[in-house]
Amino acid sequence: MFQETSDPDSLVGEPIVSVIMPVYDHAPYLSDALNSVLGQETNFPFEVLIGDDSSQDRSLEIALAFQREHPGQLRVFATPRNVGMHRNHRNLIMKARAPLVAYCEGDDFWRSRSKLRRQVEHMMAEPQCAAIHSDFDRIVLRKGRWMVAPGVNTNMGRNVPSGSVFRELLKGNFVQTCTLLARTKDVQNFLRSELPTESFPVIDWALCLFLASRGSLKYMPDSTAVYRQVAGSAMNSGNAARLRTVQGYVGMIEAVCREFDVPTDDRDAALFPIRRALLSLSVLASDPSAFKEAHDWLLANDSGYLRPMRRRLLPLLVRSPLACKALARIQVFRSWMFRRSFYRLPLDRSTASSA
């Protein structure tokens, strides 16, 4: 199913890091991703594993061209048909030869040329550290230009915890995958665990929870990577798609809590923000069935959230397609206003840091 195109005899010997790069229709961005990874300034060998999931564009052609230029460092895996992000990720992780893995999806890129070196130095110095991640920039295409929001966590005033963070992470994911470095054996054990990973809408949050159960998570406050927000992803494809994704988080959190015997109070504290989000999303998506499920759960477990008048009116609004459509348009306008204020600067590739 997964066909490796590299020559096993030409591979770099004993890499310290395997960089995992899942790819699907990333042709416009893939060169940025690969150049940012290959441009890392390290004092150790590393390999790059590219998993092209039967892209319909030139992604595989671009990956193979880079492989010809870096035959010992790049390993390209291709599938004859689309297998999905979970199986693509699993194959790459199981093929990794290094003791550490880092992530850079084909539409993201790293902005710090010392990212790998600094993160590896920390992981080698602290055996109890299960993973390390950092702040990041986010970019979005607006009127034909990529606009950037630098240092998202810092500029939004987020207090990202560091150390033993399992309980905090259970309430919401604060790890951006393109900044993550972890121990390969931990990620492989996650995929071999009893957790139903194939059913999760996305795998990164559950993975980070698993890592946090194994040791500490170190946070670096400087931005090392750029997350590219593109249309078509699960959280950027409209309210109905977002609703389905967030619904999947409920089962994921419940599965993680069962796996690690999380106390009921901590489980419910993690589900509160998800159920609240589902309440709003079900109205915006005009889905009365999903609304009823979220409303009934909140009524039984978080009734105070439903007391304000604006939320007491929601059961009436969700029954009116016109009202739901009007609220969805208001949400689109508010999102547009937020993007205008949040993404203020044009992307300047010369600002990539060597620090």
Q: For the residues of 48-95, what is the DSSP string, one character each?
A: EEEEE-S-SSSHHHHHHHHHHHSTTTEEEEE-SS---HHHHHHHHHHH
DSSP, collapsed to helix, strand or coil, labels residue 22 as strand
pLDDT tier, 232 (very low <50, low <70, confident <90, very high otherwise): low
Least confident of 158-167, 293-302, 340-349: 340-349
- Give residue limits of the domains in the chain: 3-230, 236-342
Q: Which residues of 87-125 are buried (b: 16+ CB within 10 A; e: fewer)?
A: bbbbbbbebbebbbbbbbbbbbbbbbbbbbbbbbeebee
Q: Are 203 and 209 in contact (CB under 8 A)?
A: no
**Residue 143 or residue 121, greater confidence:** 121
pLDDT above 90 for 234: no
Mean pLDDT of 234-248: 82
Structure tokens at 198: 């194939």
The pLDDT, as a whole number, for residue 51 is 97
Structure tokens at 143: 């009127």
Mean pLDDT of 243-270: 95
pLDDT tier, 145 (very low <50, low <70, confident <90, very high otherwise): confident
Least confident of 22-31, 105-114, 321-330: 321-330
pLDDT tier, 189 (very low <50, low <70, confident <90, very high otherwise): very high
Instruction: Kindly state the percentage of the chain with pLDDT values over 70.
Output: 95
Where helices occur in the chain by DSSP H, the ranges are 27-38, 59-69, 85-95, 115-125, 152-155, 166-170, 184-192, 204-214, 239-259, 264-284, 288-301, 309-312, 314-317, 321-342
Q: Global pTM?
A: 0.91
The pLDDT, as a whole number, for residue 322 is 85
Mean pLDDT of 304-316: 90
pLDDT tier, 350 (very low <50, low <70, confident <90, very high otherwise): very low
**Residue 16 or residue 145, greater confidence:** 16
The pLDDT, as a whole number, for residue 296 is 95
The pLDDT, as a whole number, for residue 352 is 45
Q: Are 216 and 122 in contact (CB under 8 A)?
A: no
Sequence-separated (6 or more) residues with CB below 8 Å from residue 76: 4, 5, 6, 50, 52, 60, 63, 64, 67
Mean pLDDT of 248-264: 96
Q: How many CB atoms lie within 10 A of CB 266?
A: 15
* Alpha-carbon span 302 to 279, nearest angstrom: 12
**Class assignment of domain 3-230?**
alpha beta
Instruction: Kindly state the percentage of the chain with pLDDT values over 90.
Output: 75
pLDDT above 90 for 347: no
* Alpha-carbon span 13 to 97, nearest angstrom: 9
Mean pLDDT, the chain, as a whole number?
Answer: 91
Mean pLDDT of 50-78: 95
Mean pLDDT of 306-320: 89
* Alpha-carbon span 232 to 241, nearest angstrom: 10
